[in-house]
A and B are shown apart, each in its own frame.
Chain A
Amino acid sequence: MAEFLLGASGFVLATVAFGLARILWGPGDADRMMAAQLLGTGGVGALLLLGAATGEGGAVDVALTLALLAAFASVAFFKSASEARADEAADRG
């Protein structure tokens, strides 16, 4: 069971790491924000699986913290991107 959970954790991480490619390509801010969001959720999932596989109880608390701070970081990105758009519009028009 531990092996399976460890493997599942690695699989989730691998698929999510491929999502990182979207940060690289992502034409536009929205795609980059999406990749970060996917990593956040995938990271939480992988953490929960890792914690269950190794019997590390603290991993659940780390997942909890990660979920909260990922939401905060996403909002910070959004505010920055929308301010950039507002600046751009103000400069142009």
Chain B
Amino acid sequence: MSLADLFTVVAVSAGAVFFLAGTVGLLRFPDALTRLHALTKADNLGLGLVVLGLLPRVDGVLGGLKLVAIWLLALLAGAAVSQLIARAARSPGPRG
């Protein structure tokens, strides 16, 4: 296996581990705010490592830029939406 392939395997595996951690946290942590914390790890690191692992496989700079742009977009949206979800969690509504 070439060095690039090895890098892809390692990075993607690490990313998958973070997705797993995000889900386990979402399911097992005791309250909404701690669950939110687990979720953002999946967003940042899980997706970031997956994108990093796929970068050696793209053809051309444009492809690589697109992948990084997707990650940055997910980061931005995730960060903002996490704040909104936290607000919803702190003042529980009609459904608790």
Contacts and interface: CB of A to CB of B under 8 A. Distances in A.
Q: Do chains A and B touch in the complex (CB under 8 A)?
A: yes
Interface of A: 1, 4-5, 8, 11-12, 15-16, 18-19, 21-22, 27-31, 33-35, 37-38, 40-42, 44-45, 48-49, 52, 60, 63-64, 67-68, 70-71, 74-75, 78, 81-82, 84-85, 88
Given A16-B19, A85-B91, A88-B93, A33 B70 contact: no
Given A28-B32, A28-B89, A60-B66, A8 B12 contact: yes
A8 B16 CA distance: 7
Given A8-B16, A37-B43, A41-B42, 17 more contacts: A4-B12, A12-B19, A12-B46, A22-B26, A30-B86, A30-B88, A30-B92, A33-B81, A33-B85, A37-B39, A37-B81, A37-B82, A42-B19, A45-B19, A45-B50, A49-B12, A64-B70
A45 B46 contact: yes
Nearest to A74: B81
A71 to B, nearest CB: 3
A34 B26 contact: yes
A16 B24 CA distance: 10
Contacts of B94: 84-85, 88
Given A34-B36, A48-B67, A78-B88, A11 B16 contact: yes
A78 B77 CA distance: 13
Contact of B69 (A41, A64, A84): A64
Contacts of A45: 15, 19, 46-47, 50
